[in-house]
Structure 1
Amino acid sequence: MLTNQVAIVTGASRGIGKAVAFQLAEQGAKLALAGSSEGVYETEKELKEKGFSYVKAFQVDVANEQQMQKMVTEVLEAFGQIDILVNNAGIGFFKEVEETTVEEWERIFAINVQGVFIGVKAVLPHMKERKSGTIITVSSDVGRYTIPNGAAYTATKYAVQGFSGSLAQEVRKYGIRVGTINPGMVDTYFANSIQGVPEKRDWLKAEDVAQAIVYMASAPKHMLIDEIILHPLIQQYPIA
């Protein structure tokens, strides 16, 4: 159980982030929900309708340091502490390198990499002071191998893996745990696809990934889970 622990979840408007919010709430956590669209307020509304009253939504751009820092300040004012950060916000697209624009490259790195860095940087002073905290980043199985037409997306996930590994070594002396969740094919809205279509029937569900995140967050304080890799049974993938 995560009773009275305070968790920030980014990308909480839909998909994995929304599923994470509900499962954390069911474990007793208080929630700060971050989303780039007004959909984050709908997640807040649905949670409160289910009886989870300790929920506060923020419409922010995770790549904007000022917005994220302001959110963290308001979370601390509202709840008094931050125990868990789930870096879930992310975007993706699949194109050949020569078809990828510089603007697309910069935006995917801004959200997927810079957004993680900014969120972590914002919560670290508080977690260090309390000598406690769990930072979980939703990466991808392609942070471990490459795929065609995915140079930009794959590069961001390799960056996240490197950042998280280094961060884990840097902050462990403060009692802060850092881990990554690396899912394969998940039935969400990823890359502007449609959730729930027949061809995704046997893919992972957002709730499956959320369950892995809750497991990592709920581990005993003396235990560090560096990463969890999960795939649907039907997915063929390289084994390193």
Structure 2
Amino acid sequence: MLNDQVAIITGASRGIGREIAQQFSKESTKLSLVGRSEDIHKAAQELKSSGFEHVISIQADVSKEEDVQKIVDETLSAYGKIDILVNNAGVGFFKPTEEVTADEWKKIFEVNVQGVFLCSKAVLPHMKEQKFGTIITISSDVARYTIPNGSAYVATKYAVQGFCGSLAQEVREYGIRVGTINPGMVDTYFADSKQGLPEKEDWLKVEDIAKSVIYMASAPKHMLIDEIKIHPFAQDYPIA
């Protein structure tokens, strides 16, 4: 089913985004990989080296409207359509609210919220025209509850959850599905951490999140998966 589709994946240079790309390549989905740094080209080359040919890489900042338009234009030029958007790009930090600067607050909202808005908005005309599309946003379990020292990050995830819920209602008449994946603790590079640290041994792996994306994207057209919430057994979290 996914081998006839075209997917844009943001934040695909490493971590969860890179693994999402790997999983989609196994489904023979045509890929447009997006990242802010030149590392995005390495991620695409890695797939090509493994024998997967249908992949392009685009260096772009999802918080900038002109960059997002470039993503859409280059994807359409390469493949002629857009079926799937995976909003994976995101940043995070954790500190007491009084230590958060206005610039930090602005930046996290630009990437985590504005990026999701701009990318989703940009693909909608094309998905509406073909009467089909899937928009998946990698959010967080803190879109459903709060934690101390996370006011900025948590606020962005609540905003994303609200945006995606409203968007889903707007576009369902066009056959477009919108869903979120809200993971708990994942062993990745998030918040300037390192992947593979001993203390993360029992956390979720990037493969767990990527396979959830494939599951959501490959659901039959009559089925909408609104949200997937995943936690490692090792994580204690509020029930919400």
CA distance in 2, matches of 1:42, 1:26: 18
CA distance in 2, matches of 1:36, 1:214: 24
- Could you list the runs of 5+ residues in structure 2 that have no partner in the other structure? none
Displacement of 1:224: 0.1
Q: In structure 2, the residue corresponding to 1:67 is in which secondary structure?
A: helix
In the other structure, the counterpart of 1:105 is 105
In the other structure, the counterpart of 2:21 is 21
CA distance in 1, matches of 2:215, 2:25: 14
Displacement of 1:28: 1.2
In the other structure, the counterpart of 2:114 is 114
Displacement of 1:4: 2.3
Aligned pairs for 1:13-162 within 5 A:
13-162=13-162
In the other structure, the counterpart of 2:237 is 237
Per-residue CA deviation, residues 192-227 of structure 1 (Å, 9 max, x unaligned), is 011101000010011110000000000001100000
Per-residue CA deviation, residues 142-173 of structure 1 (Å, 9 max, x unaligned), is 00000000000000000000000000000000
In the other structure, the counterpart of 1:204 is 204
Would you say how many aligned residue pairs link Structure 1 and Structure 2?
240
In the other structure, the counterpart of 1:170 is 170
- Say yes or no: does 1:220 pair with 2:234: no
CA distance in 1, matches of 2:31, 2:16: 15
Flag as ranges the 4+ runs of structure 1 deviating above 3 A.
none
CA distance in 2, matches of 1:23, 1:74: 22
Q: In structure 2, the residue corresponding to 1:142 is in which secondary structure?
A: helix
Q: In structure 2, the residue corresponding to 1:204 is in which secondary structure?
A: coil
Displacement of 1:5: 0.6
CA distance in 2, matches of 1:38, 1:186: 24
- TM normalised by structure 1 equals 0.99
Q: In structure 1, the residue corresponding to 2:152 is in which secondary structure?
A: helix
> RMSD of the TM alignment (CA)?
0.5
CA distance in 2, matches of 1:141, 1:67: 29
Displacement of 1:77: 1.1
Displacement of 1:97: 0.6
Question: Which amino acid in structure 1 is aligned with residue 46 of structure 2?
Answer: E
Per-residue CA deviation, residues 62-121 of structure 1 (Å, 9 max, x unaligned), is 001011112201111110110000000000000111000000000000000000000001
